[in-house]
Amino acid sequence: MADIDFAGKVAVVTGASRGIGRVIALGLARRGAAVVGTARRLDFSPGVGGTLEETFAMIEAAGGTGLAVAGSITDAAGVRSVLAQAKDAFGRIDILVNNAGMHPGVSVTEMTDGQWNDLIAVNLTAPFLLIREVVPIMREQGSGNILNVSSGAGSRSPRADNTGYGATKAALDRMSFNLAHELKDDGIAVNAWLPGILATDMNAGRQAGEPVGLAEESVMWAVAQTPATFTGRIVRREEFGQTWGPGAPEA
């Protein structure tokens, strides 16, 4: 995927402080995109994988272009602020990667009201708000690509601590599929991407994860596509090049 060139493109990546979000932000920046990344705080993260400030220091050190925007993406005002800053800085928004997510790691019977509300806010409300606000920008441009980071928990992995999380990801999959058909004639591709078990903070203590860098290649390919070539798909990272992507029968 080193030959994919995002020069002139502007990408917004949520949850860019660490893990999959950092890999995606760096991958886009290395290929020429101007990257706007979000997280709740600039210089602090509750996990151990790094901060938003560190991600953008890495982008700058690699010669990339980016803008770190700390704040909330679970309320409309915060989302409008993020997208306005992206548009003011770079003039357009071509790619939206809804990567931010949370997993309380408890069963439904143990889940508090606050945990449930936070789960819905981060995993569903934030993507909804960002999509609602970015679509008019992409429509005006006549093109765009939206990638929602989902999970196999939405269709399998029936563990007790996956019930609430899986419900949000199943809903995100359905949102992605329906939106793809709604927005296809506007030149906007929408897909859901399932990363599998990667070594991130979210998976710590659950299962041994594969290197998080495995996320990069399939995401770069997906966000380079148009509705004419790839939209309305719910795809698994580990099947890249087999059931989808370059060389796959359905690609």
What is the rounded end-to-end Cα distance, in angstroms, of the chain? 15
φ and ψ of 122, to 5 deg: -80, -45
Residues classed as catalytic: 165
CA angle 102–103–109, rounded 5-degree value:
135
Largest interatomic CA distance in the chain: 49
- What whole-number distance in Å separates Cα of residue 80 and Cα of residue 163? 31
φ and ψ of 98, to 5 deg: -85, 90
The CA-atom distances, in angstroms, between 38 and each of 43, 53, 67, 76, 198 are 12, 10, 9, 15, 21
